[in-house]
Structure 1
Amino acid sequence: MNVKKFTAASSREALRKVREALGPDAVILSNRPVDGVVEILALDNDDVASLAAPAPESDMAQPQPRLSQLDAAERDAPAFVNRRGSAPAVAPEQVFARRAAQAEPDFAPEPEFAVRRPAAAAAPAFDMAAMSRMMQDAMAQAKESAAAEMSGMMSEIRAMRGMMESQLAELSWGGTQQREPHKAVVLREMLAAGFSASLSRYLIDKLPADKDAAESMRWIKTVLARNLTTMSDEESLLDRGGVFALVGPTGVGKTTTTAKLAARCVLRHGAEKLALITTDAYRIGGHEQLRIYGKILGVMVHSVKDEADLRIALKELKNKHTVLIDTIGMSQRDQMVTEQVAMLAGAGADVKRLLCLNATSTNETLNEVVRAYQGSGLYGCIMTKLDEAASIGNVLDVMIRNKLNLHYISNGQRVPEDLHLADRAMLVDRAFRSRRDAGSQFEDADLPMMMANTGNLNNDHTLRGVYFG
């Protein structure tokens, strides 16, 4: 066995010398830095083969499958020199383990001189990994495709269901209209008053069969008034006191309504028992308007900007019997509505929110307002601009379906005269009386088409709480 030593300034140069002297199949025994140079001990491949020849009578002498030179060397080499140059008897499988342990990381052989592995041994592992990845990608793509197809199928089914429900509703109402013509009269009156088609259809379906048109209208008004929740006792509200915040969109009349409520509290308990807070620091003249009302009533008005200021103000005013908060108005589609609701909920006091609903707004707009300002729950609502509304069935419809407690109605700008307790029977009668002549604008041929848009009323959760007494 002829072990040769090669030294050079770098590993690359030393390995090049090994390759030139012993060929590409040389066996590297050690690789280490010595005195600023790299020292490599190597052995010719022929010497390894001669040392690995087994005794004739041993099992190893029997014919074996053909292996590459490197595999034969790794399996059969009996002994190699160690890093100090001596040649102890070492088992073949320990040679390469010792060689790997002795190799220094900073002077590891370059990739182009790495020990060659038979391609046949590495190929199966690489192919299996690639095949596994391909299978995973195919399964993921199949799942995405199936989910997309399922989503499209469900959308088509829902669309078909909606079309069928609409057509069935139209056919059903067409038959009802012929059998019970008085229901068509009641439906036209409810639609003209501003009530939604779904609520109108729901109540008409519950109409007793033995009533004519006049009796049916009286029954409808009774049911509507019974489902309209109002505050019947103002004394309990004013005597109980607390912290109340008036919320709602811009221009709904919050500041004027706040002044009206403040005047009522002053008349009952005195100015020293009331405090006013405004959060309207954006609208030009917004807080000045409330300050003028406060000056007239002899009540101090506090201005706050955020939740921290509101906490401090409410803590300082905890000895007041009643605190009224006039909030900044913003569109129901403004993201700041959620922040305002959170500010009032986290103010450190039980702030009761009263939602101001504009009677001149449409049914769809009012529903958006309620959903935006609902939060964890509204204490009640106040109907404003009653004197400007051509019909009020729209706002009554929203109150009934959202189970809102109506505290007051505002019908003008005078403070405090134009603020009244809600009378359920009066409001329902006002809804039909104000648009009685408009009932003729709906023809009998139009009613089935309008009823087709109501769909399946059993799925409308806002109608489940309607009761008939």
Structure 2
Amino acid sequence: MNVKKFTAPTSREALRKVREALGPDAVILSNRPVDGVVEILALDNDDVASLASPSEESEMAAPRPSMQMPAPEGPALREPAARYADELPAEPMMRPAARQPFSSLGALDDAPAYAPQAPVQPQPQPQTYANRRAPQPEAPAFDMAAMTAMMSAAIAQAKESAASAAAGEMQGMMSELRAMRGMMESQLAELSWGTTQQREPQKAVVLREMLAAGFSASLSRYLVDKLPAGKDATEAMRWIKTVLARNITAMTDEDAILDRGGVFALVGPTGVGKTTTTAKLAARCVMRHGPEKLALITTDAYRIGGHEQLRIYGKILGVMVHSVKDEADLRIALKELRNKHTVLIDTIGMSQRDQMVTEQVAMLTDSGANVQRLLCLNATATNETLNEVVRAYQGSGLAGCIMTKLDEAASIGNVLDVLVRQKLNLYYIANGQRVPEDLHLGDRAMLVDRAFRNKRDAAAQIADADLPLMMAGLGNLNNDRSLREVYVG
């Protein structure tokens, strides 16, 4: 591009020089007075092509950075834009040169020597092909797998939260329903028993007698509900005694233990009389088969001199007493005594709530021999205590039980209740300290009769007005598993 400057005293003469030098198609770039003359900058028509858009490969193809916002579209949007432009401060700008034929410049002959160009507002840059091809920042790649995993985790968490909330609500609802059912059962039981007490007063008499004898309220209510209709109080009591005796399992012939022989372990809480009962059984075995057929083992290595009492009994009977400490010693002892007809094991006494009870049961079960466990039940204990003892020493199954301290018990209905509901086989009854006299076989009818004969004082009996409230607290007896196998005939 070659821009040429022409000066003359007047603009007419300056234009003439331009026409002569560049031809009629010259492009006037500027026209201004300088130092008393007129100066014109002009460009040849052939050099105008250099003012066109640069090629795409050129660095000039990229648009220059601009802070100017594009003009809004539409008339409604152009008006605020124009108004905003009008409010901007005016800044003098030269109007860009327009390409026009030189023939149209003839009118400039009459133009004044200096004609300043009016400032114009900047126009938005037109969208060109180069603008569209300008490099743009790359958008981050979309990770579909990560998005799917994120959505799956969110859905799983939402489901888990909803399930937890639903489970909590359901649990609360079930608790409320159980409470409502319990209240309704209690109220219905109270109303039902009140009606039964008025309609069949003999049932109230029987129920009061059973509670006074020491039987549990649930077993008493269960048998009273099964009581046949049309019986008076005397006949009803006779029926109750018959049913109780029928549901007690007792050994009627001690040959089952003396003649058959085997390994027997007496277990139970502290102070229930295991050592004395072991000595009584040992004396009976010696009297039947002789001392050489019997062996005694004690596991009481914790108490100071705990095994001395059994050693004294063994010395009197002429029987060797073996002391063991753990399962390994017990295995060795039982292996050495496998030729004995009868082996009696006296175990250490411990509370039914002691965790060592489980270890003791496991030691006897895993000793390598068929150890039959006989549970000693204290006749003076309460019904609840006896049930705890049975559950603690039950293990894989008890061979039977021995009722001890019968001579010290004011009532034995509590022990008979446990025998009926737990289905225990009664081997012996111990009613004193004499060895071996105070050990007897259990007579079911005698035990039931004694339970009602030695019932508590009348002052301790429950009044008729208290029976409905007591029966209401039992709930639904059909849910008590221990009563399902009680045979009423």
TM-score under structure 1 length normalisation: 0.74
Paired residue for 1:167? 187
CA distance in structure 2 between the aligned counterparts of 1:65 and 1:207, rounded to whole angstroms: 104
Q: 1:399 to 1:387 in 2, by over 3 A?
A: same
Give, in angstroms, the shift of residue 236 of structure 1: 2.8
Give, in angstroms, the shift of residue 329 of structure 1: 1.1
1:181 to 201, 210, 226: 201
Give, in angstroms, the shift of residue 159 of structure 1: 1.5
Paired residue for 1:156? 176
Q: How many residue pairs end up in the alignment?
A: 363
CA distance in structure 2 between the aligned counterparts of 1:252 and 1:67, rounded to whole angstroms: 98
Q: Any idea what SS the aligned residue of 2:380 has?
A: coil
Which of the two has higher C-alpha Rg? Answer: 2
Paired residue for 1:201? 221
Are 1:247 and 1:329, in contact at CA under 8 Å, matched by a contact in 2?
Answer: yes
1:268 to 265, 288, 292: 288
Paired residue for 1:79? none
1:348 equivalent to 2:341? Answer no
CA distance in structure 2 between the aligned counterparts of 1:65 and 1:212, rounded to whole angstroms: 113
Are 1:356 and 1:384, in contact at CA under 8 Å, matched by a contact in 2?
Answer: yes
Deviates more, 1:251-260 or 1:157-166: 157-166
Paired residue for 1:17? none
Q: How does 1:314-333 map to 2 (within 5 A)?
A: 314-333=334-353
CA displacement 1:170-227 (0-9 Å, x = unmatched)? 1111100000101111111100000001100111111121211111111111110111
CA distance in structure 2 between the aligned counterparts of 1:161 and 1:421, rounded to whole angstroms: 46
Q: What letter matches 1:170 in structure 2?
A: E
Task: Determine what percentage of the aligned residue pairs are the same residue.
Answer: 80
Are 1:189 and 1:436, in contact at CA under 8 Å, matched by a contact in 2?
Answer: no
Paired residue for 1:433? 453
Q: What letter matches 2:434 in structure 1?
A: R
User: After TM superposition, which residue ranges in structure 1, 4 or more long, deviate above 6 angstroms?
Assistant: 63-67
Paired residue for 1:405? 425
CA displacement 1:1-52 (0-9 Å, x = unmatched)? xxxxxxxxxxxxxxxxxxxxxxxxxxxxxxxxxxxxxxxxxxxxxxxx99xx
Which has the larger share of helix? 1
Deviates more, 1:413-422 or 1:127-136: 127-136
Give, in angstroms, the shift of residue 68 of structure 1: 5.5
Give, in angstroms, the shift of residue 143 of structure 1: 1.3
Paired residue for 2:333? 313
Deviates more, 1:256-265 or 1:279-288: 279-288
Q: Any idea what SS the aligned residue of 2:434 has?
A: coil
Paired residue for 1:239? 259
Give, in angstroms, the shift of residue 64 of structure 1: 9.6
CA distance in structure 2 between the aligned counterparts of 1:456 and 1:393, rounded to whole angstroms: 23
Paired residue for 2:354? 334
CA distance in structure 1 between the aligned counterparts of 2:231 and 2:459, rounded to whole angstroms: 20
Paired residue for 1:417? 437
CA displacement 1:250-307 (0-9 Å, x = unmatched)? 1111111111111111111111100001111112221111111111111111111111
Q: Any idea what SS the aligned residue of 1:325 has?
A: strand
CA distance in structure 1 between the aligned counterparts of 2:438 and 2:132, rounded to whole angstroms: 111
Q: What letter matches 1:135 in structure 2?
A: I
Paired residue for 1:132? 152
Q: Any idea what SS the aligned residue of 1:281 has?
A: coil
CA displacement 1:120-152 (0-9 Å, x = unmatched)? 324766555444333222221111111121112
Where structure 2 has 5 or more consecutive residues not aligned to the other structure, the ranges are 1-56, 59-128
Q: 1:311 to 1:121 in 2, by over 3 A?
A: same
Deviates more, 1:118-127 or 1:249-258: 118-127
Q: What letter matches 2:228 in structure 1?
A: P
1:456 to 453, 476, 485: 476
Where structure 1 has 5 or more consecutive residues not aligned to the other structure, the ranges are 1-48, 51-60, 70-117
CA distance in structure 2 between the aligned counterparts of 1:119 and 1:125, rounded to whole angstroms: 18
Paired residue for 1:278? 298
Paired residue for 1:143? 163
Are 1:278 and 1:302, in contact at CA under 8 Å, matched by a contact in 2?
Answer: yes
Paired residue for 1:361? 381
CA distance in structure 1 between the aligned counterparts of 2:217 and 2:421, rounded to whole angstroms: 13
CA distance in structure 1 between the aligned counterparts of 2:132 and 2:181, rounded to whole angstroms: 75
Paired residue for 2:232? 212
Q: CA RMSD in A?
A: 2.2
